[in-house]
């Protein structure tokens, strides 16, 4: 997520609109990978990040421009480009990320 006050307010409004509750702290809390995780309906896990390890030299806008977009039930969802995803997985180097990396390299 591009970390801007407007985006944080919109995220808070979306949670309310979807019936997940109102969380004022969304507007000010730090979003830390693996720590800022929301478990929402249908088994969906939402891990909001404003920066990603290994991608510090890229701006949000650069990553967004290169992202692949998919239409999921009428909602356009951007997915991190595979090259940046692989850089991120290598930088993290947790066992699960290394397994992902093997599959991504195929």
**Chain CA centroid to CA 53, Å:** 12
Q: Max Cα separation, the chain?
A: 43
Question: How many CB atoms sit inside 10 A of residue 28's CB?
Answer: 8
Which pTM was predicted?
0.76
Output the six-digit token pair for 11. Answer: 């995220």
pLDDT tens, position by position, 46-87: 888 888 999 999 999 999 999 999 999 998 999 999 999 999
**pLDDT value for 44:** 84
- Asked if residue 35 has pLDDT above 90, the reply is no
């Amino acid at each position: 997520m591009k970390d801007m006050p407007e985006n944080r307010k919109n995220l808070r409004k979306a949670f309310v609109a979807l019936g997940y509750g109102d969380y004022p702290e969304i507007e000010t809390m730090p979003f830390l990978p693996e720590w800022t995780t929301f478990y929402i309906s249908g088994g969906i896990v939402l891990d909001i990040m404003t920066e990603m390890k290994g991608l510090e030299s890229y701006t949000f806008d650069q990553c967004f421009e290169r992202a692949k977009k998919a239409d999921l039930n009428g909602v356009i969802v951007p997915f991190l480009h595979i090259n940046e995803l692989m850089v991120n997985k290598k930088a993290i180097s947790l066992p699960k990320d290394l397994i992902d990396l093997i599959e991504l390299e195929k």
